[in-house]
Amino acid sequence: CTVREKPEQKAYSIVGRYQQLKEHNPDAIIGITGCVAQQRGEELLARMPTLDFVLGPGMIHHLPEVLRDMEGGRKGICAVGFENGCPAHLPVPHTPRLRAYVTIMQGCDNFCSYCIVPSVRGRERSRPSSEILAEIDALVRRGTKEVILLGQNVNSYAKHNPGELTFPRLLAKIDEIPGLERVRFTTSHPKDLTKELIEAFGTLEHLCEHFHLPFQAGSNAVLERMNRGYTREQYLTQIRRLREVAPQISITADVMVGFPGEVDDDFRQTLELVQEVEFDGLFSFKYSPRQGTRSAQWQDDCAPEVKQQRLAALQELQRETTLKKNKRLEGTVQEVLVEGSSRNSPRMMMGRTGCNRIVNFSGGTARVGELVMVKIDDGLQNSLRGELRR
Ligand code: SAH
Ligand code: SF4
């Protein structure tokens, strides 16, 4: 992932470690795929002579040919283009998975000023709904109970595919697949969140009451420079509408601190928004300039220690809120999808609520993949603890 600076550095050090493999096995093949590959291309081959190939996200379906070429003695392959449409159907893993991710679209047309996704993932392309439905059907036949639909901006699904289902209509079709217990999706963009999608939470049986809606900043001045296309007030209205339709809905978000020009008062507005919404989970990041984006031309003028302080303040506030919300669930009975035995104690089992909270529970055994009711006794910082109800 090259969205932020830190994960990119991690990718380089991992490749560095894998290079040692070649000392033991000269036939080993090392390649980089994904967004770092897309962004750096040939530069990676020059920088790391033991690297054999570099494939961007738009070329990943050519991996079998690349490996055949390697066997034929070709080295140093670099392919980072984008073909029209989404890559042809990628194989579904044969091992049964309780929870599966299904990509419904790729790329992004939004060009938020800080974001590298549009340049490393290309323009927005949506997969045909028939293909998505067939893939989910095949997964469910192999034991999948929960699917998570993936896209950078799922609300605009199929905007370039005339006659295709809208995202809420696609969800309605998925909801009807027999044997599928849970559907989630990520990510939604506040500017494109429609009434129809919000209403789906009131009508679709298997749609989990969980919504990830990044807001990025609480100050309108910063949102404008980020080119997000909504205001703080519009964001808060979307949250209110979601809670009107689904009062128990769990809402999570992404937020950034230290965007160029973010002053104390801007950050105060971010903190206030977080306080007001009471998110169920918050992913907070320090801004880092990404080469080629609009904001990378602006001075990264927020000092590292200020970024750190702001991040710590947000994380502390969120920790308190998460604990408070988990405590509120004490005494309630939650539907839990069983995932296996608990990591903390072999005598307990573990699963997740529809809101995606981890629950460790005792009081009997349940089958993996089964939906059970659990009475919650303790709301902890990162999980819930309870007892099986039969
Ligand atoms: N499509 C999603 C987000 C994709 S990137 C959306 O629009 O919300 C995931 C998260 O990484 C973003 O929500 C943002 O909070 C963070 N991020 C993106 N670019 C960043 C940058 N340059 N510096 C720090 N965080 C960044
Ligand atoms: Fe990046 Fe998301 Fe904005 Fe697209 S919508 S540019 S992926 S932050």
The CA distance from 264 to 259, in Å, is 12
For the CA atoms of 223, 105, 183, 278, what is the dihedral angle to 10 degrees?
-10
Q: What are phi and psi for residue 175, nearest 5 degrees?
A: -55, -25
Tokens of 355: 């809101």
Is residue 97 pLDDT above 80, yes or no? yes
Q: Ligand 2 pocket, 223 CB below 6 A?
A: no
Q: Ligand 1 pocket, 3 CB below 6 A?
A: yes
Residue 216 DSSP one-character state? B
The CA distance from 213 to 222, in Å, is 17
* Averaged confidence pLDDT in the chain: 93
**Per-residue confidence band for 89, with pLDDT thresholds at 50, 70 and 90:** low
Mean pLDDT is lowest, of 59-63, 187-191, 295-299, for 59-63
- Beta pairing, strands 333-341 & 371-379: antiparallel
Q: What is the pLDDT at residue 358?
A: 97
pLDDT greater at residue 364 or residue 355: 355
Strand partners, 100: 147
Complete DSSP assignment for 146-182: EEEEE-S-GGGTTTTSTTPPPHHHHHHHHHTSTT--E
Q: What does the pLDDT average to over 309-332?
A: 98
Q: What does the pLDDT average to over 343-367?
A: 92
pLDDT in tens, 214-272: 999 999 999 999 999 999 999 999 999 999 999 999 999 999 999 999 999 999 999 99
Centroid of chain to Cα 71:
35
The CA distance from 273 to 233, in Å, is 10
Helix (H, G, I), strand (E, B) or coil at 253: strand
**What's the whole-model pTM score?**
0.92
Q: What is the pLDDT at residue 87?
A: 67
Cα dihedral sign, 80-82-88-89: positive
Judge contact between 355 and 209, C-beta under 8 A.
Answer: yes
Q: What is the pLDDT at residue 19?
A: 83
**Per-residue confidence band for 364, with pLDDT thresholds at 50, 70 and 90:** confident
The CA distance from 297 to 269, in Å, is 25
The CA distance from 223 to 127, in Å, is 30
Is residue 390 pLDDT above 80, yes or no? no
Ligand 1 centroid to residue 284 C-alpha, Å: 10
b/e for 356-388, b at 16 or more Cβ within 10 A? Answer: bbbbbbbeeebebbeebebebeebeeebbbbeb
The number of the ligand 2 atom at minimal distance from the alpha carbon of 111 is: 6
Residue 206 DSSP one-character state? S
Q: What is the pLDDT at residue 333?
A: 97
The residue among 310, 213, 202, 209 whose CA lies nearest residue 259 is 310
The number of the ligand 2 atom at minimal distance from the alpha carbon of 108 is: 4
Q: What does the pLDDT average to over 133-144?
A: 94
Q: Is the peptide bond before 187 cis (omega within 30 degrees of 0)?
A: yes
Q: Ligand 2 pocket, 165 CB below 6 A?
A: no
Judge contact between 172 and 197, C-beta under 8 A.
Answer: no
The CA distance from 364 to 359, in Å, is 14
Judge contact between 256 and 217, C-beta under 8 A.
Answer: yes
Ligand 2, residues 110, 186, 287: which to mutate, most atoms within 8 A of Cβ? 110
The CA distance from 200 to 155, in Å, is 12
**Per-residue confidence band for 88, with pLDDT thresholds at 50, 70 and 90:** low
Q: What is the pLDDT at residue 304?
A: 97
Q: What does the pLDDT average to over 366-385?
A: 96
Is residue 387 pLDDT above 80, yes or no? yes
Q: What is the pLDDT at residue 270?
A: 98
User: How much of the chain exceeds pLDDT 90, in percent?
Assistant: 79
Ligand 1 centroid to residue 153 C-alpha, Å: 12
Q: Ligand 1 pocket, 189 CB below 6 A?
A: yes
The CA distance from 8 to 259, in Å, is 19
